[in-house]
Amino acid sequence: MRETILGYSSSLAISAMLAVLKLYYVRQDTYIEAMLALQQAQVGQRKLRKRVRKHHKAFSDAQAEIQNYHTALQARRNQVENAVRERNEAQARMMQMTRERDKAMRLAENREAARVRALFQAEIREEELIHRIVELQLDIHRLNNIINPIPHPVPANHEEDPSEEDQDDGIVSNEESEEYL
C-alpha cells in the first residue's frame, strides 16, 4: 500500500507527508525487526542457557570422572612404586641368600676336602703305625728270643753235622745268648 500511495502522489505536501510516512514505516519496520531480532536472540539465549546447564552437568560429571581417573592413576603409581620397591628388596634378599649359600657351599666343600685329607692322612698314619707295630713285634720277638731262647731240637744223630738249616736260622741258642750277656 505504501508503494501505491507514493507512486500516485502529485502534490508536494502529499509527497512530504508520504516521505514522513515512509520514514515512520521504515522506522516502524526497523523497530519491529529489531524487536523480532531481540525476541529471537532471547529465545536463542534461553536455548543456549539450557544447553549450557545441560552441558555444565555433563562437564561437571566429566570433571568428576577425570578427578577419579587421576586418583586411580595415583593409586596405581603408588602400587607400582611399592611393587618395584618390594621387588628390589626381594632381589637384594635373594642376592644375600645366594652369597650366604655360596659361602656355605664353599665351607662345605672345604670341610669335605679337609675330611678327605684327614681320612687319607689317617690311612697313611694307620699304615705307618701298622708297619711300626710289625717292626716292634719283630723287635719284641727278637728280644724275646734273646731273653728266652728256644732250644733247638736235639738231632737224633749226634755224630752227624747239623744241617745248614739248623746252623743259620737266626735263632740264637742258649750258649750264644749267654755270650752276649
End-to-end CA distance of the chain: 185
* 157-172 pLDDT tens trace: 655 555 555 555 555 5
CA distance 144 to 153: 18
E strand spans, 67-172: none
Residue 36 one-letter amino acid: L
Average pLDDT over residues 31-49: 77
Q: Which residue has the higher pLDDT, 49 or 168?
A: 49
Cell digits of residue 7: 507512486
Using the 8-state DSSP alphabet, how is residue 163 labeled? P
pLDDT at 52 over 50: yes
- State the burial class of residue 21 (Cβ atoms within 10 Å of its Cβ: 0-12, 13-18, 19+): middle
What integer is the mean pLDDT of 72-95? 94
What does the domain layout of the chain look like in residue ranges? 2-150+169-180
51 against 64, higher pLDDT = 64
Rounded CA-CA distance 121/113 in Å is 12
Q: Does the CA dihedral 141-144-146-149 come out positive or negative?
A: negative
The answer to pTM > 0.75 is no
Task: Give pLDDT tens digits for 9-27.
Answer: 456 666 666 777 676 666 6
Res 60 pLDDT > 80: yes
Q: Is the pLDDT of residue 142 over 90?
A: no
Q: Determine the 3-state secondary structure of 29 from DSSP.
A: helix
Task: With cut-offs at 50, 70 and 90, classify the pLDDT of residue 28.
Answer: low
> Average pLDDT for residues 67-92, to the nearest whole number?
93
- The pLDDT mean for the chain works out to 78
